[in-house]
């Protein structure tokens, strides 16, 4: 039943954040399923409430399975524990413990009200479902998913005369779907100058509009970059404070073009001047979470920024497309470690793998 609740919750991917997408199943006293629900967008009802409404009076004396400990606080909505007690739920099975302190204490409160509570924190599907939420609560940073497309032997770019796309159209469809479900898409200035991407979600039903964030230490982004001319989420350009201070014209020009410039404190990459170091990337991500309300980030960048993110342990999940070809012969040997080597070192857990047209696709995420 908890796995069933997870499947229901996963349909809400991209809708509930920054709240966790909680799944809930309710059975009546005879064991028949009478209600199912998942968290609605922020301000809307939590998963338990949706399921209770569906169950109505049939919930009395019944069992509820929830992927997360029901909340015990008045946030944007009233506490789920009160609703569960009022509905007369006799037994509750909980898939994970609430880590957000203001909402916690639900299990104790339910037990005090006479509800039998069983904690089942051994269900893998639940662990994966809420990994992002618990991680965000414990770190204060957004959940960062890195995406890249590579050739069969792990190269990230083929020369422009060969093909601008390593991966096929079916893979791109999956990327656009993800773009429509995250709060921000992060890229680097190298990718902007090489590919001039728009970074909007095309041809899919969008659940939210991602802000577009460019790591651009020296403010090199042209004011006529495609993403500045494409309607969509706000464009945020992250640079070094000294660069912003000494180039007011460039900052003004970018602002006139619709971008916002964020000066980010922190160190530089020791191996490469002009690149954000891990500490500065960490600051950027924290500011995105705190000031911009960004809970989820999808990166679409080159090997340099990927290396910095992995190096600073800022990657939480990866979506990798591998083309069936090795690319043309006679290419420069690509720098090592390749992103796939970095991913292997991170030791993530594969949560899904399959094919999109000719490409192999793999989702993996941090194990906590
Ligand atoms: C639940 N069921 O479905 C979710 C919970 O501001 P609010 O009222 O929407 O509360 C948000 C907090 O409630 C969120 O930070 C998390 O701790 C918890 N989420 N709890 O009982 C749910 N989404
Ligand atoms: Zn709740």
Q: For 344-355, what is the mean pLDDT? A: 94
Does the CB atom of residue 46 touch ligand 1 within 6 A? yes
Atom 3 in ligand 1: residue holding the nearest Cα? 46
What's the gap in Å between 72 CA and the centre of ligand 1?
A: 9
Q: For 329-351, what is the mean pLDDT? A: 83
Atom 15 in ligand 1: residue holding the nearest Cα? 19
Q: Note the pLDDT of residue 345.
A: 95
pLDDT at 160 over 80: no
Q: Note the pLDDT of residue 329.
A: 58
Pocket test for ligand 1, best of 9, 20, 69 (most atoms within 8 A of CB): 20
101 counts as catalytic: no
Q: Cβ distance 266 to 289 under 8 Å?
A: no
Whose atoms come closest to the Cα of 98: which ligand? 1
pLDDT at 162 over 60: no
Contacts of 32 (CB under 8 A, 6+ apart): none
pLDDT at 238 over 60: yes
The atom of ligand 1 lying closest to the CA of 20 is 23
* Mean pLDDT of the chain, nearest integer: 93
What's the gap in Å between 92 CA and the centre of ligand 1?
A: 17
Q: Note the pLDDT of residue 161.
A: 45
Q: For 189-202, what is the mean pLDDT? A: 92
Topology (CATH level 3) of domain 140-365: Dihydrofolate Reductase, subunit A (3.40.430)
Q: Note the pLDDT of residue 275.
A: 87
CATH 3.40.140.10 domain range(s) in the chain: 2-132
Q: Cβ distance 28 to 55 under 8 Å?
A: yes
The 10s digit of each residue's pLDDT in 224-234 is: 999 999 999 99
Does the CB atom of residue 76 touch ligand 1 within 6 A? yes
Pick the CATH number of 2-132 from 3.30.565.10, 3.30.70.250, 3.40.50.300, 3.40.140.10: 3.40.140.10
Q: Which residue has better confidence, 358 or 2?
A: 2
The atom of ligand 1 lying closest to the CA of 16 is 23
Q: Note the pLDDT of residue 189.
A: 95
The 10s digit of each residue's pLDDT in 129-159 is: 999 999 999 999 999 999 998 888 888 865 5
What's the gap in Å between 325 CA and the centre of ligand 2?
A: 48
pTM (two decimals) = 0.93
Among residues 323, 331, 305, 321, which one has the least CA distance to residue 159?
331
The 10s digit of each residue's pLDDT in 96-121 is: 999 999 999 999 999 999 999 999 99
The 10s digit of each residue's pLDDT in 11-41 is: 999 999 999 999 999 999 999 999 999 999 9
Whose atoms come closest to the Cα of 19: which ligand? 1
The 10s digit of each residue's pLDDT in 260-308 is: 999 999 988 766 667 899 999 999 999 999 999 999 999 999 888 999 9
Residue of 48, 98, 150, 300 marked catalytic: 48
Whose atoms come closest to the Cα of 104: which ligand? 1
Among residues 201, 218, 158, which one has the least CA distance to residue 300?
201
CATH 3.40.430.10 domain range(s) in the chain: 140-365
Pocket test for ligand 1, best of 14, 19, 43 (most atoms within 8 A of CB): 19
Least confident range of 80-89, 185-194, 332-341: 332-341
């Amino acid at each position: 039943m908890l796995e069933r609740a997870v499947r229901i919750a996963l349909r809400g991917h991209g809708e509930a954040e920054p709240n966790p997408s909680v799944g809930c199943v309710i059975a009546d006293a005879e064991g028949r399923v009478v209600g199912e629900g998942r968290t609605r967008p922020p301000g809307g009802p939590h998963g338990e409430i949706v399921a209770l409404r569906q169950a109505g009076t049939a919930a009395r004396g019944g069992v509820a399975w929830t992927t997360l400990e029901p909340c015990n606080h008045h946030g944007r909505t009233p506490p789920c524990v009160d609703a569960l007690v009022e509905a007369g739920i006799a037994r509750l099975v909980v898939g994970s413990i609430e880590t957000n302190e203001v909402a916690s204490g639900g299990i104790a409160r339910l037990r005090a009200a006479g509800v039998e509570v069983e904690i089942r924190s051994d269900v893998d599907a639940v662990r994966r479902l809420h990994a992002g939420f618990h991680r965000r609560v414990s770190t204060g940073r957004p959940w960062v998913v890195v995406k890249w497309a590579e050739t069969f032997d792990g190269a990230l770019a083929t020369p422009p005369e060969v093909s601008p796309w390593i991966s096929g159209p079916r893979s791109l469809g999956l990327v656009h779907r993800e773009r429509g479900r995250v709060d921000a898409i992060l890229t680097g200035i190298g990718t902007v100058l090489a590919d001039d991407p728009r970074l909007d979600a095309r041809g899919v039903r969008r659940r939210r509009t991602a802000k577009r964030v460019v790591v651009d230490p020296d403010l090199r982004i042209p004011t006529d970059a495609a993403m500045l001319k494409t309607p969509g989420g706000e464009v945020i350009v992250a640079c070094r404070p000294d660069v912003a201070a000494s180039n007011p014209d460039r900052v003004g020009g970018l602002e006139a073009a619709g971008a916002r410039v964020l000066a980010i404190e922190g160190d530089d990459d020791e191996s490469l001047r002009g690149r954000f170091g891990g500490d500065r990337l960490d600051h950027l991500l924290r500011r995105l979470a705190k000031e911009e309300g960004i809970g989820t980030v999808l990166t679409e960048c080159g090997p340099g920024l990927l290396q910095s993110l992995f190096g600073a342990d800022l990657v939480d999940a990866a979506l990798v497309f591998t083309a069936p070809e090795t690319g043309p012969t006679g290419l420069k040997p690509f720098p090592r470690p390749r992103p796939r080597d970095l991913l292997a070192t991170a030791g993530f857990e594969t949560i899904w793998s399959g094919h999109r047209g000719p490409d192999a696709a793999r989702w993996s995420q941090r194990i906590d």
